[in-house]
Structure 1
Amino acid sequence: MNFLPRCLSYSKCSGGAGRSEIRGGESSNGGFGKDGLLWFHDIGNCGSGEYSMAIVQANQVLEDQSQIESGPFGTFVGVYDGHGGPETARYVCDHLFRHFQAISAEGNGVVTEETIQRAFLETERGFTSVVSENWHSRPQLATVGGCCLVGAIYQQTLFVANLGDSRVVLGKKVGNTGEIAAIQLSTEHNANIESVRWELKDLHPNDPQIVVLRHGVWRVKGIIQVSRSIGDVYLKHTRFCREPINGKFRVPPPLNMPILLATPTILKHPLHPNDSFLIFASDGLWEHLSNEKAVEIVKSHPRKGSAKRLVKAALHVAAKKREMRYSDLRNIDKKVRRHFHDDITVIILFLNHDLICRGVVQDPTLSIRSALEH
């Protein structure tokens, strides 16, 4: 059954969260829509401008999670790409922003690189505790992880923090030419990138198998492509790298130090009036679209429906790669879809520098999150 209960949650209030249910087309609550396995919010307002959001499912259970938060702290965007299951991404969506809020409150609401790094590390500690508490009943949680991409706009500064291979690309106006350049702001942690392989070799000089090339793909310990994540605790703690988890996840001892890191790469970018929009997306989008192509699509069309337009563009490319029509790909059900493309999440933030410079506070606060179950 192509049934989706509570596919997106939407809250625009200072108290509890509200929810919208999608049963096809546009919803009367929050403007969410549904098109097969594609869910979208075409356009909305936040404290830093306008946003557009879209998610397409490929796995049997959606492993991507995402959120947009806007209030006195500024604007917070999160894209969480799970692997091995949905549990880590769901946990991050539940806890990372809460830690961010609590830690920034300790510093009178000031956001710094340290604020974000501590929020990531607290989230990592929390998920590790969940794995520990459930070790006897659900040991497979030790093999679930997630990539995390966060953008936080505080005053007139954008902070970008990333673990894994999701990506944020800035569309920046080039003088008065009318052109918009594509500038990647996030650092990716994937073993297929040469610098990442060198980093791993430097950190593990006595392990000749720290990266292994298999079927044309570089993998950490021959298992996983990303070198940083939340979760994946079987590659971080000896006590989880043992039975009863599947043998393919158990690396030979000793595990003297974590193989994967949970420390994000953080970039601080002062916002400039020529900074037009930001594209946050899981790697499922970038597998099919270049930075330049994505920026070109956004800048050449109306803002409304921009995220959905990018997702569909990626699906058209995925279909073409398999010598099939988009209409045929669209009719393939989840799980089987994973053979053609990954779950894809896209959030586009159109920057309003007047609001950002004036320090306009979102009132009431805005909180939009992808659902935990679909």
Structure 2
Amino acid sequence: MLSGLMNFLRACFRPKSDQYSHTSLDTGGRQDGLLWYKDTGQHVNGEFSMAVVQANNLLEDQSQLESGCLSLNELGPYGTFVGVYDGHGGPETSRFINEHLFQHLKRFTSEQQTISVDVIRKAYQATEEGFLSLVTKQWPMKPQIAAVGSCCLVGVICGGTLYVANLGDSRAVLGRAVKATGEVLAIQLSAEHNVCIESVRQELQSLHPDDSQIVVLKHNVWRVKGLIQFYKRIS
């Protein structure tokens, strides 16, 4: 069950053009050895670039940028969607998110004629339900797909507001320039769901009181069921 609250913050972004663009590492990304990247480009709400270093034999991660979207009059003319999907155990989940999450977000935004915390949560839930359905269908032929997963960190800029939604142990950080000193402050915008954090372990244990192995200390690292360090909860 997905639970918790989205963080939403005021942002100093304003639309600069009426151009729509789509960017992901799957569409036109460049590779230099184990480095996958897209150079900085101008989009509706500023300049964006992407980079990822491949850690496994197969690139399991995805990132996505949709700019010039979510065009509802009452929210301002245009918005920007940014997603980072940290896959583990394989690329299937992160690719599925890349293909479906934004489409669900557009659908729910259109239906409710607004972008909101509830709309973003519904898009997450619809994406998860869709992947669970895929796992059910593929289970007889490909049982290992049940062990594939992904973190899901999303930022949506619309109407001058930045919404940040996180599932897993990725982190969104805002760099804010201090004019007086010229330094840049790092401001954390999301909270990780990592069982190395005591409060997260306590929450998991309270949710699963009959499972003594729900959180296990393995090689001096806390892990869910002795396998992974994060669990899903939208915040």
- Counterparts of 1:57 and 1:101 in 2: how far apart (Å)? 30
Q: For the residues of structure 2 that align with 1:219 and 1:37, how far apart are their CA atoms?
A: 28
CA–CA separation in structure 2 for the residues paired with 1:72 and 1:81: 23
User: Whose RCO is larger (CA < 8 A, sep 6+)?
Assistant: 1
User: How many Å apart are 1:39 and its aligned residue?
Assistant: 2.3
1:36 and 2:33 equivalent?
A: yes
**1:147 lines up with 2:151 in the alignment:** yes
TM-score normalised per structure 1 = 0.53
Shift of 1:208: 2.3
User: Could you list the per-position Cα deviations for residues 283-324 of structure 1 after superposition, in whole angstroms to 9, with x for gaps in the alignment?
Assistant: xxxxxxxxxxxxxxxxxxxxxxxxxxxxxxxxxxxxxxxxxx
The AA in structure 2 aligned to 1:157 is: T
Once the two structures are superposed, what CA deviation does each residue of 1:142-168 show, in whole Å capped at 9, x if it has no partner? 111110000000111111100111111
Aligned equivalent of 2:10: none
Residues in 2 aligned to 1:82 and 1:72: alpha-carbon distance in whole angstroms: 25
Which of 87, 93, 96 is the matching residue for 2:98? 93
Report the Cα distance in structure 1 between the residues aligned to 2:41 and 2:149, rounded to whole angstroms: 30
Counterpart amino acid of residue 178 in structure 2: V
> Paired residue for 2:59?
62
Match of 1:106 in 2: 111
Large movers: runs of 4+ above 3 Å: 12-15
Q: Aligned residue for 1:81?
A: 86
Instruction: Identify if the C-alpha distance between structure 1 residues 20 and 111 changes in structure 2 by more than 3 Å, giving closer, same or farther.
Output: closer
Residue segments in structure 2 that go unaligned for 5+ positions in a row: 1-18, 71-78
Question: Contact 2:153 / 2:164 at 8 angstroms: preserved in 1?
Answer: yes
**SS of residue paired to 1:151:** strand
Aligned letter for 2:106? Q
Choose from 189, 197, 203 the match for 2:207: 203
2:234 is matched with 264
1:139 Cα deviation (Å)?
Answer: 1.2
d(CA) in 2 for partners of 1:131, 1:48: 36
* Partner residue, 1:183: 187
8 Å CA contact 1:64–1:82 kept in 2: the answer is: yes
Instruction: Please give the alpha-carbon distance, in whole angstroms, between the structure 2 residues aligned to 1:78 and 1:20.
Output: 14
The answer on whether the counterparts of 2:60 and 2:86 sit within 8 Å (CA) in structure 1 is yes
Cross-structure match for 2:218: 214
- How does 1:182-331 map onto structure 2 within 5 Å? 182-228=186-232, 263-265=233-235
Query: CA offset at residue 177 of structure 1?
Result: 2.4
User: Aligned partners of 2:111 and 2:154: how far apart in 1?
Assistant: 20
Is 1:45 matched with 2:42? Answer: yes
SS in structure 1 of the partner of residue 156 of structure 2: strand
Map Cα deviations across residues 28-67 of structure 1 (whole Å, 9 max, x no partner). xxxx543222122221011111111112212111000110
Once the two structures are superposed, residues 239-293 of structure 1 have per-residue CA deviations (whole angstroms, 9 ceiling, x without a partner) of xxxxxxxxxxxxxxxxxxxxxxxx411xxxxxxxxxxxxxxxxxxxxxxxxxxxx
Q: Secondary structure at the match of 2:172?
A: strand
Quickly say closer, same or farther: Cα 1:129–1:185, change in 2 above 3 A.
same
* AA of the residue aligned to 2:89: G
Read off the aligned partner of 1:87 and give its amino acid letter.
E
Determine if contact 1:39/1:56 at 8 Å carries over to the other structure: yes
Q: Distance in 2 between matches of 1:155 and 1:164?
A: 27
Call closer, same or farther: CA 1:171–1:13 in 2, change over 3 Å: closer
Aligned-residue CA RMSD (Å): 2.0
Return the match for 1:129 from 133, 138, 141. 133
Give the structure with higher Rg (CA). Answer: 1
1-side partners of 2:27 and 2:214: how far apart?
46
TM-score (norm 2): 0.82
Task: Give, in angstroms, the shift of residue 72 of structure 1.
Answer: 3.5
